[in-house]
Structure 1
Amino acid sequence: MFEVIPAVDIKGGKCVRLYQGRADKEKVYFENLVEVAKKWESLGAKRIHVVDLDGAFEGIPKNIAIVEEIVKSVSVPIQFGGGVRTIEALDRLFSIGVDRVIVGTVAVENPRLFEEMVDRYPGKIVLGIDAKNGMVTTKGWVEVTEIPAVSLASDYDAMDIWGFVYTDISRDGTLTSPNFEEVEKFASAVNRPVIASGGVSSEEDILKLSKIENVVGAIVGKALYEGKVDLASVLQKVG
């Protein structure tokens, strides 16, 4: 079943969306993060994607107390990403009840540590690959590497990770539609499941992503907050 996963992005204790991952281009949508998570659950979301933007930029989760509140307030699983670069951070997140943790920068900069994380939590780590023009970016989308997204994914595909979240950051928060060609290229290069993220602007975009082989979900942020996508309606169509 294809999952439509609402994104709850935390920055400064509020629910925001960034434009192309830029910290200086934010828009606040909700002051109360628990309230917004409950809203998406009430509309039928089966999973919520929580991102600690402060953590992504600073390299250590900064909003764990808020995340814990969200976990306790909803009954659907929470997948979390943002600044998870140590075993301690990972342990803390799983101890508060997070279902899956997205790790990105570590996989690029410290493969041995990433392997240790996966061994410690088999099937629970998601490799988050944030790409710009097909190349991997790290440290909260700030640094562009010379590593092709597909080749990084191939390196880890055989490990006991859950799968991948593939984000095209040039489309993220822009409402310009996903880069379907890149998503398809990425998804066809790996065996593990892929969740697509970045650029969803309409119900049609989600339906199109749901037809790409090996893409099992889409993370939707700005399109939900701006009223471009009706969550209950699209869930009926992909369910």
Structure 2
Amino acid sequence: MDLYARVNIMDGRSVRLPHGNVADAIVLDSDPLARAQSWVEAGADRIHLVDLDAAAFREYGNRPLIDEIINALDVPVQVAGGIRSPLEAQRNIDAGAWRIVMGTAAIEDQNMVWDLCRDHPGKIVVSIDVRPDGEIATRGWTMNSGRYLEEVLIEMSSAGAAAIVLAEAGRDALEDGPDLRLHLEALEAVDVPVIAGGGVRNLDDLRDLVRLQAMGRGLDGIIVGREVTSGRFTVEEAKKVLIEIPADQLTQEIIETPKVPRSLAKSEAAFKKVAEELERAAAAAREAVKRIKSSDVDAAMSRGLAISGHLQKADEVLSKIAKRHAFRDDQDD
């Protein structure tokens, strides 16, 4: 598991957001590069760089500074904030970003995500902000998307996202502990690497996240920031936690997850496969509509063939599920 260190940049300075609101930003220093370098020297595995001006105001004056930081560091840097178009995604990747992180744009324009994941495999990360009821929040927690965690996870997994950054909308990381069940749900829903992006209060919270296991895997990484800068713990202490949890002290210590019977587990996996194929069909249909609007009928028809293929695969899986359960009912009789 990797430790990501967050560097928030606003107006060329490093800032902290006490409650996730740029209006409350507190300036930490005027040298984000030095801050990023200090994180690396302390032992951070990755840097999570957030351009708050681009995210909140669509102002991109920090981009030259971000390019400088990317090229100055010896660890991978993933860039977040204001990446809303293929052009901006390409620009950051060309500048040397290890990966780019998309938030609202990914939720609202699924076609773009599919295209970017196809054009830049392994480079596109999707950040998902989840409310307590599972609904996805967008536009800096100010809007409700009407969509929920599992469906978005399956969609982004099908698109080919390199990872998911999972955060809890409205949560104050220094006051409230992480929602372990939420992270466990994400691990169970898809095979895509999941990164805990909401921060932790202390080392105990960090240990709880490290212990989480589902489907034979745990979280891929954890992003920390102000819990370190405010003196709750050090990077060195956090790194020790990442490697100190023995295999026999994983999920069951924190959350008693009911065991699913093997027959039902097969059905669960099959229905997930159906959902993935239907999502691929839906994405191809959206692309076909876009092609028709641009008068590219041949391309639209080719998308139609793709839709048919995905629907056929979904139907085949559903038929297998029906046969399996029919056989089980006969056995019960």
Bin of the TM-score, shorter chain as denominator length? over 0.9
Q: Deviations over 1:138-165 (max 9, x none)?
A: 2233222221122211112123221100
> Does the 8 Å CA contact 2:4/2:47 hold for their aligned counterparts?
yes
Match of 1:169 in 2: 169
Q: Which amino acid aligns with 1:237?
A: V
**Which segments of 5 or more consecutive residues in structure 2 lack a partner in the other structure?**
244-333
Within 2, Cα distance between the matches of 1:60 and 1:154?
A: 32
Distance 1:82 1:34, change over 3 A: same
Per-residue deviation at 1:172? 4.4
Q: How does 1:84-123 map to 2 (within 5 A)?
A: 84-123=83-122
Distance 1:20 1:39, change over 3 A: same
Q: How does 1:43-82 map to 2 (within 5 A)?
A: 43-59=42-58, 61-82=60-81
Match of 1:238 in 2: 242
- Higher relative contact order structure (alpha carbons within 8 Å, sequence separation ≥ 6): 1
Within 1, Cα distance between the matches of 2:115 and 2:74?
A: 29
Instruction: Tell me the SS of whatever aligns to 1:219.
Output: strand
Within 1, Cα distance between the matches of 2:5 and 2:241?
A: 16
1:197 matches 2:177: no
> Does the 8 Å CA contact 1:166/1:197 hold for their aligned counterparts?
yes
Within 1, Cα distance between the matches of 2:18 and 2:137?
A: 16
Per-residue deviation at 1:237? 3.0
**Which segments of 5 or more consecutive residues in structure 1 lack a partner in the other structure?**
none
Residue 217 of structure 1, aligned match among 212, 216, 221: 221
Within 2, Cα distance between the matches of 1:72 and 1:175?
A: 35
Q: Which amino acid aligns with 1:208?
A: D
> Does the 8 Å CA contact 1:61/1:84 hold for their aligned counterparts?
no
Distance 1:229 1:162, change over 3 A: same
Within 1, Cα distance between the matches of 2:124 and 2:189?
A: 19
Match of 2:17 in 1: 18
Match of 1:179 in 2: 179
Q: Which has the higher strand share?
A: 1
| Larger Rg belongs to | 2
Q: Which amino acid aligns with 2:88?
A: A
Instruction: Tell me the SS of whatever aligns to 1:9.
Output: strand
1:131 matches 2:110: no
Within 1, Cα distance between the matches of 2:27 and 2:62?
A: 16
Per-residue deviation at 1:187? 2.3
Per-residue deviation at 1:77? 0.4
Q: Which amino acid aligns with 1:22?
A: N
Q: How many pairs align? A: 238
Instruction: Tell me the SS of whatever aligns to 1:200.
Output: coil
Runs of 4+ in 1 over 3 A off after TM superposition: 59-62, 172-175
Within 1, Cα distance between the matches of 2:138 and 2:208?
A: 28
* TM-score, structure 2 as length reference: 0.68
